[in-house]
Structure 1
Amino acid sequence: MHEREFRAFVSIAETGRMDVAARQLGYSQPAITYQIKCLERSLGFKLFTRHPSGARLTGDGQMILPSVRAVLMLIDGIRDPHGNRSGEHTDEEAPAGTALPMVRQRTA
């Protein structure tokens, strides 16, 4: 499972169309279709039913959508730990009260 597959999944779920999701994400429609097929293969179940008018979430797809959104929020938070897109904090220290403790690996 990859981030791009999760983003494709959420975009299709929100738009109901693979072609629209592909445009939003800057991919071709075959690339989006491939990403969904890879995700479905990894998970072991179908995420969408395809129709001429678009794509609809299956029951399994509906069930995992909140979790996938949460994973993407975590990824976005890791990329921008201060939650600001404007780059307010450019120094290497986190503002007071927001730093997480460092986890040290044990050496054997």
Structure 2
Amino acid sequence: MHEREFRAFVSIAETGRMDAAARQLGYSQPAITYQIKCLERSLGFKLFTRHPSGARLTGDGRMILPSVRAVLMLIDSIREPHGDRSGELPEEGVAGGTALPLVRRRTA
């Protein structure tokens, strides 16, 4: 499972159309379709039913939508404090920030 797949999933759920989601995210429609197929394969269930008028969430899709939104919010919040500095450490360094306690909890 990848972030881009999650973003495609949420965009389709919100717009109800794969072509609209593709435009919104700057992808081609085949790319969006592929991302959803990959996500469905990873999860082991269908997320949408396809109709000529668009795509509708399945019961499983509706069930996981809040969790996927939460994951994307977490990803966005992790990136937010670091801005566009592409990999640079924050001014105060790792020890002065919140990264060190998170690493300790993970490895302990």
Is the TM-score greater than 0.5? yes
SS at 1:27's partner residue? coil
* Structure with more of its chain in helix, by fraction: 2
Amino acid at match of 1:93: E
**CA displacement 1:36-74 (0-9 Å, x = unmatched):** 000000000000000000000000000000000000001
1-side partners of 2:98 and 2:14: how far apart? Answer: 33
Match of 1:74 in 2: 74
Q: State the identity as a percent.
A: 86
What TM-score, normalized by structure 1, do the two folds share? 0.81
Which runs of structure 1 show a deviation greater than 4 angstroms over 4 or more consecutive aligned residues?
Answer: none
* Partner AA of 1:50 in structure 2: R
Q: Which runs of 5+ in 2 are unaligned?
A: 84-89
Which residue of the partner structure matches residue 3 of structure 1? Answer: 3
Alignment correspondent of 1:88:
none
Equivalent residue number for residue 39 of structure 1:
39
SS state at 2:81 partner: coil
Question: Unpaired runs of 5+ in structure 1?
Answer: 86-90
Matched, 1:92 2:91: yes
Name the CA distance, whole Å, in 1 between partners of 2:99 and 2:6.
Answer: 29
Shift of 1:81: 2.8
Q: Please, what TM-score do these two structures have when normalized by structure 2? A: 0.81
